[in-house]
Amino acid sequence: MSHPDLSAGLCIGHPNPEIWDVKGGVRNNPKVIRAIRICGICPVQQACLDYVIQIERANPGAYGHTYGVAGGLTARQRKFVMRKVAA
């Protein structure tokens, strides 16, 4: 599995990186909404999402599998995508 260059990611060096790591209660959470919005304009969003899906599919216990925003999706949304891809 190759590691894409995500150095242009908008979460890199962001002053509030914790907004990508909210655990539980994500529905309508302002931090989560903010993270998703930033991901939505991130120049590497698709590469980030593809990568995190690959990682989480290969390592179900991997960091981020059960919480956090990555590639513009919450953990629950990523699980949904994984199930669709596997179907």
Distance CA 74, CA 87 (A): 20
Query: Of 19, 22, 32, 70, which one interacts with ligand SF4 (CB under 6 A)?
Result: 70
Question: Binding segment for ligand SF4 among 21-29, 55-63, 64-72, 74-82 (CB under 6 A)?
Answer: 64-72
Interface with ligand SF4, residue 73, by CB under 6 A: no
- CB atoms under 10 Å from CB of 16, counted, come to 11
Residues in CB range of 73: below 8 A, 6 or more apart: 36, 39, 49, 81
In the complex, what is the shortest distance from the CB of residue 20 to ligand SF4, in angstroms, rounded to a whole number?
A: 6
Interface with ligand SF4, residue 44, by CB under 6 A: yes
